[in-house]
Chain A
Amino acid sequence: MAEQEQQRPARRESDPAEPVDAGAPQATGQGKDRLKAELDDLLDEIDEVLESNAEEFVKNYIQKGGE
């Protein structure tokens, strides 16, 4: 496993411009469009799973301090 993980940075070092993860968003105009399109899909999902009573959910999220 460790070997597998360490190959990635080597590839990245040899060509920093080449994306390591094809899914990672890029700075190009095309990348921006894709980011926007992905966001629309993502927001559809968020609308579906986001707590339906947001106000109650946020109000009831109370933690005691830790550490």
Chain B
Amino acid sequence: MPVPKILGIETEYGIVHRGVDDSNPISASSLLINAYLGTQSEPGAGPGSPRVGWDFIDETPQNDVRGFSHIGGMAPEVETHLVNAVLTNGARYYVDHAHPELSTPECADAMSVLRHDRAAEQIVVESMRAANQVLPDGEELVIYKNNSDGKGNSYGCHENYLMDRTTPFARIVQHATTHFVTRQVFTGAGKVGCEAPWIPTGAVPFQLTQRADFFEEEVGLETTLKRPIINTRDEPHADPALYRRLHVIVGDANLCEVATFLKLGTTAIVLAMVEADFLDPSLLIADPVRSLQAVSWDTGLKQPLMLGDGRTATAVDLQWEFLDQAQKYVLEHGTDLIGGSVADDVLTRWEGVLASLETDPSDLVGVVDWITKRHLLDGLRERHELEPGDARLAALDLQYHDLRPERSLFARVGAETLVDLGAVTVAMEQPPEDTRAYFRGRCLQRWPDEIVAANWDSMVFDLGDNTLRRIPMMEPIRGTRDHVGTLLDECRTVPELLSRLSA
């Protein structure tokens, strides 16, 4: 049975510390985040306060949905010693490996995620400003919202979707794989060159995505080596008897708002259809890993993909198929569990983008990142008669993702926007109102000094008499404004809140 598609996105940003000889990305990331937290302090409360830390007690990224225990596997490590903060909008802002990472709060629809992803970008921009004020002259932190350094190193932009625990995982694998391989036609952020080691230099001058080169497996637990199209991390951050969380590692970080919106929105609908067993079981790609790369490397969008039954179809053909099924699904099942009226908007935009991909992709400049980036690259190449390997093309690729407003090339395109800046500014501090993130964010606003730690599915309060109380939040759709808004408004103290919660 379909469950509400609560969803979120976590982005690792590229970071450069300019003006120093031997920069350390971990300390640079810490400096960046601490500088931002410093700007959030209450007057007189000391530097960096409120700084509520992350609670690691429920972190189990090594658990595999297939029930394996890992012997020598490359499950991600949990780094408990690095900066790790929870923000008043319900987001998590932390150092992950050698990157600053920001996870949006849990959201109930794709528009809400988009708003919080844009808020995350603005938080990073503010962080750069704050950090650069304290750095010596000649030094600067620069942040990039991309996923590759062009030299074989990749960092992720992961999506998360709440799913029904009873849905057979094999069914999720089949349909989600087909969607992930083919959605690249509108989710790709574009990349100059190719980082697959067996591809000769120059053979793929430009491709749709930043990430496809780095995927080697169909299904698995890894995220840093032998990356799988379907990640099996079984860490629901919710009641494990009811839910799983599909952790999607195969996407690119987008700058175009429509691309982010469709990446989340279409995937939520596809996953709801998987739960309802609504999709045509013959939709199966015969060789997903090769197909992922073949789609990414084919800017003409004509690459035929071999299906399980011997037929062939292009990525755009298969996306039309998903859209067709999605339209029927919404007629039959409604949109209550997939974001309400936002899902209708997803369907409309999905159709418009597929139509443009078929008729004239240049209509999608400012809508789809790879097409936008290619437009700039083609322009620069023609103007200066550049050869394909010219460093200025690779520089443009990187600088497209530069988050400094005065340097960002994306910011100059005048891309189509779906959320206004006012709403983005609000989302930098305020949580979504329709998930448990509301409870987390509001408590952090009200009682920062009484919260010892927080994570996705619990919060620990200090009652002031040497007693700590953990409040479990195992149901992502509880703790909303409808549910606890009045309670949070009325309670003056943490003990009062806790006593009324347990009443």
**What is A's interface to B at a CB cutoff of 8 Å?**
1-2, 4-6, 8-10, 12-13, 16, 20-21, 23-27, 31-32, 35, 38-39, 42-43, 45-46, 49-51, 54-55, 57-58, 60-67
Contacts and interface: CB of A to CB of B under 8 A. Distances in A.
A50 B396 contact: yes
Grouping DSSP codes into helix (H, G, I), strand (E, B) and loop, the A interface class, with mixed when no group exceeds half, is helix
A62 B149 contact: yes
Contacts of A39: 375-376, 379
A26 to B, nearest CB: 7
Nearest to A58: B394
A10 B101 CA distance: 35
B288 interface: no
Contacts of A64: 25, 97-99, 153
A8 to B, nearest CB: 7
Interface string B386-425: 0000111011101100000011010011101111101100
Given A1-B426, A43-B383, A54-B392, A25 B362 contact: yes
B476 interface: no
A63 B223 CA distance: 16
A66 B224 contact: yes
Nearest to A8: B418
A24 B363 CA distance: 8
B342 interface: yes
B380 interface: yes
B154 interface: yes
Contact of A66 (B96, B394, B417): B96
Contact of A46 (B224, B394, B412): B412
A1 B352 contact: no
A27 B423 contact: no
Given A6-B341, A66-B156, A21 B417 contact: yes
B409 A51 contact: no
Contacts of A45: 412
B367 A24 contact: yes
A25 B365 contact: yes
Interface string B330-364: 00000000000110110011001000100110110
